[in-house]
């Protein structure tokens, strides 16, 4: 196991600002990590079954202006009398002082209740929290995103940011899997991403008659991807733990070093500030040391189911 204070701090936290979307965020600058700010829902867009994308704006204009996040970070969304849920940012990180976006699956007490909210309703927000995707590390390199199901949402801010500075990267590849063609998230954006220079390969667990693409798991897409340059590639993966695990195994098989593979972990998060203990995983607090981890730092933990 690795000491987060000696090994992780410099890379799992954003580096000095080099672009408008990697502004350094001081996690302790927030006055009180326990107190939420009120945000109003400005738009709701149904995506696939039981998943919608919400646009929010902080009610307090000063809070809205000051708010910044990095791709991979998350907010705690709070509905009074119902509870709180950790939800990753899924919108563009270039901040215009107004809105931020979350894509939410309705799977529990809080998210089910969010599903009944309307435009104009208010909600509590604490954040942003967590270590982001390694933006600076990815600069100038080939970037392969491997996502499963809703795992595409936490990487969408990264796609937006890379597309907006496409020349700053080498090859950009999205390998995405969904259960079925109708469960394909952000389907209407795929063409735009392709047009902007993102190679997109899709796969489904179960095809239907209209589907003429890949069938099978996401790691297979990497196995088959031509012309991978292992020493100039970063792999960013998000999805079910087992899918990320095998994506990492596949990346290693292609010769990509473990230090270039990044996973976004899910654990129970309550305070999001490393104070409540719920998200502990080995020596890590997933809420503040993660959720994004470099594979070489966690692979020994991944092999133990109930750690």
Partner 1 sequence: MTNTLPTDTEVAGMTPAASFLPRSALQTLLDLLLGQGYQVIGPRLDQGAIVYDSLERVEDLPAGWTEEQGPGLYRLQRRDDDALFGYAVGPHSWKRFLFPPQVNLMRSQQTDDGWRMSEVVQPVVRYAFLGVRACDLAAIAVQDRVFLQSGFVDKVYQQRREQALLIAINCTMAAATCFCTSMGSGPRCQQGYDLGLTELPSGFVVEVGSERGAALAANLPLEPLQDEQDQAAERARQRAVDDIGRRLDRDRVQTVLRERLQHPQWDAVAERCLSCANCTLVCPTCFCTSVDDVTNLTDQEVIRERRWDSCFNFDFSHISGGPVRDQTRSRYRQWLTHKLTTWVDQFGTSGCVGCGRCITWCPVGIDLTVEATLICQDQDADAETRS
Partner 2 sequence: MSERPKLAVMKFASCDGCQLALLDLEDELLTVARAVQISHFAEASSHLEPGPYDLTLVEGSITTPEDRHRLLKLRADSKYLVTIGACATAGGIQALRNFADHDEFMRAVYARPDYIETLATSTPVAAHVKVDFELRGCPIDKYQLLEVIASLLAGHRPRTSTESVCQACKRRGTVCVVVTQNLPCLGPVTHSGCGAICPAYDRGCYGCFGPTVQPNTRALSDHVLLPRMASDQAALALHGINAYAPEFARGGQRLWQLAGLPKPLHPSLDASLETSLDTSLAASSATEPASS
Residue ranges that bind partner 2, judged by CB under 8 A: 74, 81-88, 90, 102-105, 107-113, 116, 150, 153-154, 266-269
Query: Among candidates 161, 130, 149, which has minimal Cα distance to 293?
Result: 130
DSSP 116-173: T--TT-EEEEEEEESB---HHHHTTSEEEEEEEGGGGGGGHHHHHHHHHTGGGSS-EE
245 belongs to the binding site for partner 1 (CB under 8 A): no
Q: Which stretch binds partner 1 (CB under 8 A): 14-22, 162-170, 206-214, 282-290?
A: 282-290
Nearer to partner 2, 123 or 256 (CB): 123
Q: Of 130 and 219, which has the nearer Cβ to partner 2?
A: 130
44 contributes a contact to partner 1 by CB under 8 A: no
Residue 121 interacts, among partner 1, partner 2, none and using kind-specific CB cut-offs from 5 to 8 Å, with: partner 1
d(CA 170, CA 197): 10
- Using rule CB under 8 A, residue 307 touches partner 1: yes
302 binds partner 1 (CB under 8 A): no
Nearer Cβ to partner 1, position 5 or 116?
Answer: 5
Residues 69-88 interacting with partner 1 (rule: CB under 8 A): 80-84
Smallest separation (angstroms) from partner 1 to the CB of 266: 5
8 or 52: CB nearest partner 1 = 8
Q: Smaller CB distance to partner 2: residue 252 or 291? A: 291
Nearer to partner 2, 104 or 139 (CB): 104
* Angle, CA 2 vertex, CA 153 and CA 236 arms, to 5°: 25
CB of 289 to partner 1, least distance (A): 9
Cβ proximity of 112 and 125 under 8 Å: no
Query: Cα(182)–Cα(184) distance, rounded to whole angstroms?
Result: 5
Using CB under 8 A as the binding rule, whether residue 127 contacts partner 1 is answered as no
* Cα separation, 158 vs 132, whole angstroms: 10
Burial class of residue 200 (count of CB atoms within 10 Å of its CB; 0-12, 13-18, 19+): middle
Burial class (CB in 10 A: 0-12, 13-18, 19+), 227: exposed
**Number of Cβ atoms within 10 Å of the Cβ of 61:** 11
Coil, strand, or helix at residue 48? coil
Of residues 173 through 212, those in contact with partner 1 by CB under 8 A are: none
Contact between 118 and partner 1 by CB under 8 A: the answer reads no
Per CB under 8 A, does 283 bind partner 1? Answer: yes
What angle, 0 to 180 degrees and rounded to 10, lies between the N-to-C axes of helices 295-302 and 241-253? Answer: 120
Binder of residue 259, out of partner 2, partner 1, none (CB less than 5 to 8 A by kind): none
Nearer to partner 1, 129 or 262 (CB): 129
86: nearest Cα among 98, 94, 77, 95: 77
| Closest CB 4 distance from partner 1, rounded Å | 6
Q: Which option in partner 1, partner 2, none does residue 255 bind, with CB closer than 5 to 8 A by kind? A: none
Q: Please report how close the Cβ of residue 212 comes to partner 1 at its closest, in angstroms.
A: 32
């Amino acid at each position: 196991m690795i000491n987060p204070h000696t090994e992780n701090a410099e890379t799992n936290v954003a580096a000095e600002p080099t672009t408008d979307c990697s502004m350094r965020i001081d996690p302790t600058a927030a006055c009180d990590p326990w107190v939420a700010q009120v945000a109003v829902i400005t738009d709701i867009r149904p995506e696939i079954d039981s998943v919608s994308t919400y646009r929010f704006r902080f009610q307090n204009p000063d809070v809205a202006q000051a708010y910044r996040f990095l791709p991979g970070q998350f907010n705690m969304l709070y509905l009074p009398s119902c509870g709180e849920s950790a939800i990753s940012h899924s919108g563009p990180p270039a901040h215009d002082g107004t809105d931020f976006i979350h894509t939410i699956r309705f799977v529990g007490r809080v998210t089910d209740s969010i599903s009944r909210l309307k435009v104009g309703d208010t909600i509590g927000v604490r954040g942003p929290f967590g270590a982001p995707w390694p933006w600076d590390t990815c600069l100038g390199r080939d970037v392969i995103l491997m996502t499963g199901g809703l795992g595409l949402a936490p990487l969408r801010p990264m796609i937006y940011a890379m597309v907006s500075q496409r020349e700053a990267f080498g090859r950009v590849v999205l390998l995405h899997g969904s259960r079925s063609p109708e469960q394909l998230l952000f389907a209407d954006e795929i063409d735009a991403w392709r047009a902007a220079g993102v190679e997109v390969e899709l796969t489904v667990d179960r095809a239907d008659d209209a589907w003429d693409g890949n069938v099978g798991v996401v790691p297979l897409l990497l196995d088959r991807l031509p012309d991978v340059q292992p020493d100039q590639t970063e792999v960013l993966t998000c999805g079910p733990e087992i899918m990320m695990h095998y994506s990492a195994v596949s990346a290693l098989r292609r010769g990509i070093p473990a230090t270039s593979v990044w996973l976004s972990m899910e654990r129970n998060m309550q305070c999001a500030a490393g104070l409540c203990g719920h998200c502990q995983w080995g020596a890590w607090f997933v809420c503040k040391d993660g959720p994004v981890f470099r594979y070489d730092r966690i692979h020994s933990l991944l092999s133990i189911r109930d750690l």
